[in-house]
Homo-oligomer: A and B are copies of this chain.
Amino acid sequence: MPGAQSLAQQLAAKQREISVAEFFERNRQILGFDNPLRAVLTTVKEAVDNALDACEEARVLPEILVEISKEGPDRLKVAVGDNGPGIVKKQIPNVFARLLYGSRFHANRQSRGQQGIGISAAVLYAALTTARPTRITSKVPEEEAAHVVELLIDTQKNAPRVLSDELELWDRPQGTRVELVLKARYTRGRQSPFDYLKNTAIVNPHARIVLLEPDGTRITWERATTEVPPVPKEVPPHPYGLELGELGSRLKASSRATLGETLSKEFAGVTPRALRDIFARGHFSGKEAPDSLHSEDLERLLAVLHEVPLLPPSAESLSPIGPLLIKRGLRNVLGEIRPEFFAPPVSRPPKVRGGNPFVVEIGLVYGGGLPADQPMQLLRFANRVPLLFQQGACAITTAVGNLDWRRYGLDQKGGSGLPIGPCLLLVHLASTKVPFTSEAKEAVAEDPEIDKELTLSLQVVARHLRTHLSRRSRRDMAGEKFLIIQRILPQLAEKASRLAGKPVPDLTAVITKIMDVVAFEATAVAAANAGESALALEVTNYTPRPRVLELFLEMPLEAAASLHAEPAPDGTDAELGRAWWTLEKLPPSGRVKLLLRFPKAQEVEPGDLDWFVAGVDEAHLLGAEPLPGDWEVRLPRAIVEAAEGSGAEAAMSEGEPEVDYDGAEAHASLDEE
């Protein structure tokens, strides 16, 4: 077989290394440079992500300026400037013109850029499509002038090619500006730089972002807070979800003397107690040299590490948005739309996958002008970066679609896919390592741990929605009754009296008897202090009996911590965001008022507060709910006993005949017993 004989040799001669820059030049669609429309978005995205990361590391309030201008047919100049710490001259070429180079890949903490690819890919794309170099201006505060570098990438070597390097005076203390000319097209709309920056502002309320569009339009997203989010800390990997090979190479690379020291210092969550457990169950002495473990030892160690209870992963490496800013961000994106319901944002404790902690955060908004006949709007974010493409390929979308939203009061064709309804859902996944489906970082890959956490969080927020919707329908019914009795009955009486030629009778007592509810109405009121906002709760006893009410309030956690109430509550539980009062005995037609004050920044609204009452049957409540059974375990004993006592009363009052519109007499006679 002489033909085949030479073939293996022939093939061998063709084998060669592929530079990562060559690879991505040929496969630029993987990096998000498929077409001119997407190219400008990806370029802006990579530059702004870097700018925000740099500002955060420097603990500077970000000032981002994005300028996009026309440079010819099918060509745009894109410039992104920031006030970050700057880049030292020596590093500029590598940072901008070498793929797989960076500071954040090896750091085990949340950041926007993790791959060391993004901005270099934009430089590569610019040169590929316009043959124009990228111009970088950067100034570090300790130097007088800025460095201005023009560069390209040598694709075959994946290395920078610097064309010029000059000093220039710059009118700012520090910062970086990158300017590229690329084949691109600009439109405003879905999946545009405008859309990306708008969504970036939602989850980065500490940043001020300015966009200059090619037609000269200038859009500014002002910052909504002046607090810089804390810099996520680098943490060692957590053993949960660690693979055998990873464990092995970490032990091999350790410079510690013993296995015990390595486990407790170079892994998270391993307490002294856990360490003793690990050694006992795995038959280790703990004195072994960390690089001495053989295959079977390693397997045993890994099995034990996955069995033994460890401390949960620390959240220090993460930078979640937090419920308050999620809400503020959503309000921001809604603009003029005032939703009827803001579900309390969900932000659960961190979990681990493959050694990396992650957090899921969810916000949901319902009604108030959102389109009712269209699929829920889904805003996806990962590490504070909006994900605008590949919605269908994203694990977040899958998790949302897999929930049976019909059980929570929304329409959903066949019980899967995005539900239909006036809903906006924000989902943020923050992790030291987000598993993206590709380097374009636009969709999260399927992962059982993340999926589980997404599902649990979605269930929590969906339950809130269901509660709201069922309360609303009950409120609607009760409200209708209220309306009929309070407004129409007097009119009827007046007409009837006029016809009969008799004086109009005083109906107040009758109305009270017929209504038979205790009404709770929360409203925003003028605050006494400038820095505060105030809410009032009016409680009116429209029942024919005096009432002693146990009143319970559930509110956002931050709000609970800073609540000032008159009268002062009998107790609070800051951990659960709760407060409670025993109200004075309220006579029939009696009214009592609670005044609540919060720092203005909290933006607490009547809709954020949930009111619960013990001691009154559900049928006699308007604007509040009966105390749920699962509260008891978390309340101080005294309150539990009081609630149980009034629970007995409630059970009795359930024995009362149902009131309907013509039941007033029967009721009155019962009352007279």
Q: Which of A80-88, A320-328, A557-565, A618-626 contacts B (4 or more CB under 8 A)?
A: A80-88
Q: Do B249 and A155 have beta carbons less than 8 Å apart?
A: yes
Minimum distance in angstroms from A357 CB to a CB of chain B: 15
- Residue from A27, A87, A95 having most chain B Cβ neighbours under 10 A: A27
Contact A91/B392 with A115-B23, A155-B249, A446-B35 known, Cβ cut-off 8 Å:
no
Task: Check A14 for interface membership: any CB of B closer than 8 A.
Answer: yes
Contacts of A446 in B (CB 8 A): 34-35
- The chain B residue sitting closest to A390, CB to CB, is B393
A435 & B27 in contact (Cβ 8 Å cutoff): yes
Copies in the complex: 2
Chain B positions within 8 Å of A132 at CB level: 295
Within 8 A of B (CB), among A153-193: 155, 173-174, 183
- Chain B neighbourhood of A128, CB < 8 A: 243-246
Q: A35-B448, A128-B245 are in contact. Are A5 and B435 (CB under 8 A)?
A: no
Return the chain B residue nearest A1 by Cβ: B141
* Contact status of A435 and B15, CB under 8 A, knowing A4-B58, A7-B85: no
Interface residues of A in 41-82 (CB under 8 A from B): 54, 57-58, 60
Q: A17-B98, A445-B29, A446-B35 are in contact. Are A8 and B86 (CB under 8 A)?
A: yes
Q: Among the listed stretches A100-108, A574-582, A660-668, which one makes contact with chain B, having 4 or more residues with CB under 8 Å of it? A: A100-108
- Structural contact, A248 and B131, CB atoms closer than 8 A: yes
Interface 0/1 of A125-136, CB less than 8 Å to B = 001111110000
CB contacts (< 8 Å) of A656 on chain B: these are none
| Docked pose: A9 CA to B140 CA in angstroms | 9
Q: Whose C-beta in chain B lies nearest to the C-beta of A132? A: B295
Residues of B within 8 A of A8 (CB): 85-88, 140-142, 174
- Determine if A30 and B88 form an interchain contact, defined as CB atoms under 8 angstroms apart: no
Q: Is A650 an interface residue (CB 8 A)?
A: no
Residues in B neighbouring A173, C-beta threshold 8 A: 1
CB-CB under 8 A from A637, the residues of chain B are none
Cα of A85 to Cα of B12 in the assembled complex, Å: 11
Q: Is the CB of B435 within 8 A of A437?
A: no
Bound complex: CA A34 to CA B600 (Å): 46
Is A20 part of the contact surface with B, judged by Cβ < 8 Å? yes
In the complex, the chain B residue whose C-beta lies closest to that of A392 is B392
A26 within 8 A of B: yes
With A and B bound together, what is the CA distance between A548 and B127 in angstroms?
69
Whether the pair A29, B437 counts as a contact (CB closer than 8 A) is yes
Q: Determine whether the beta carbon of A14 is less than 8 Å from that of B103.
A: yes
Please, which residues of chain B bring their CB within 8 A of the CB of A436? 27, 29-30
Q: Which residues of B contact A244 (CB under 8 A)?
A: 128-131, 183
State in angstroms the CA–CA spacing of A578 and B506 once bound together: 98
**Are B12 and A91 in contact (CB-based, < 8 A)?**
yes
Question: By the criterion CB–CB under 8 Å, are A34 and B445 in contact?
Answer: yes
Contact among B15, B131, B393 with A102 in the assembled complex (CB-CB below 8 Å): B15
**Contact digits for A366-403, partner B, Cβ 8 Å, 1 yes 0 no:** 00000000000000000000000010110000000000
A34–B85 CB distance below 8 A:
no
In the assembled complex, the Cα of A94 lies from the Cα of B15 at a distance in Å of: 9
Give chain B nearest CB distance to A339 CB in angstroms.
27
Contact B105 A18 (CB under 8 A): yes
Min C-beta distance of A220 to chain B, whole Å: 25
Interface string of A93-119 (1 = CB under 8 A from B): 011001011110111000000011000
**Nearest CB on B from A628, distance (A):** 38
Report yes or no: B438 in contact with A30, Cβ–Cβ below 8 A: yes
How far, in whole Å, are A431 and B621 apart by their CA atoms in the complex? Answer: 70
Interface flags for A419-448 (1: CB within 8 Å of B; 0: not) read 000000000000001011111100101111
A527 CB contacts on chain B under 8 angstroms: none
Residues of B within 8 A of A5 (CB): 140-142
- Is A298 close to B, CB under 8 A? yes
Q: A306–B440 Cα gap in the complex (Å)? A: 29
Q: Does A528 contact B (CB under 8 A)?
A: no
CB <8 Å contact, A102 and B18: yes
Nearest residue (CB) in B for A103 is B14
Contact indicator A245/B129 (Cβ below 8 Å) = yes
Interchain CB contact (< 8 A) of A447 among B29, B54, B58, B249: B29
Q: A11 at interface (Cβ–Cβ under 8 A)?
A: yes
- Per the bound structure, the CA–CA distance linking A532 and B487 in Å amounts to 92
Q: Of the candidates B98, B435, B443, which one forms a contact with A393 in the assembled complex, judged by CB atoms under 8 Å apart?
A: B443
CB neighbours of A142 from chain B (8 A): 5, 8
6 closest pairs, A vs B, by CB?
A: A393-B393, A438-B438, A128-B245, A29-B445, A392-B392, A14-B103
* A residues apposed to B, CB below 8 Å: 1, 4-5, 7-9, 11-12, 14-20, 22-23, 26-27, 29-30, 34-35, 54, 57-58, 60, 85-88, 90-91, 94-95, 98, 100-103, 105-107, 115-116, 127-132, 140-142, 155, 173-174, 183, 243-246, 248-249, 295, 298, 390, 392-393, 433, 435-440, 443, 445-448
Known: A27-B115, A35-B446. 7 other contacts (CB 8 A): A11-B54, A12-B88, A16-B106, A18-B101, A18-B116, A29-B447, A30-B445
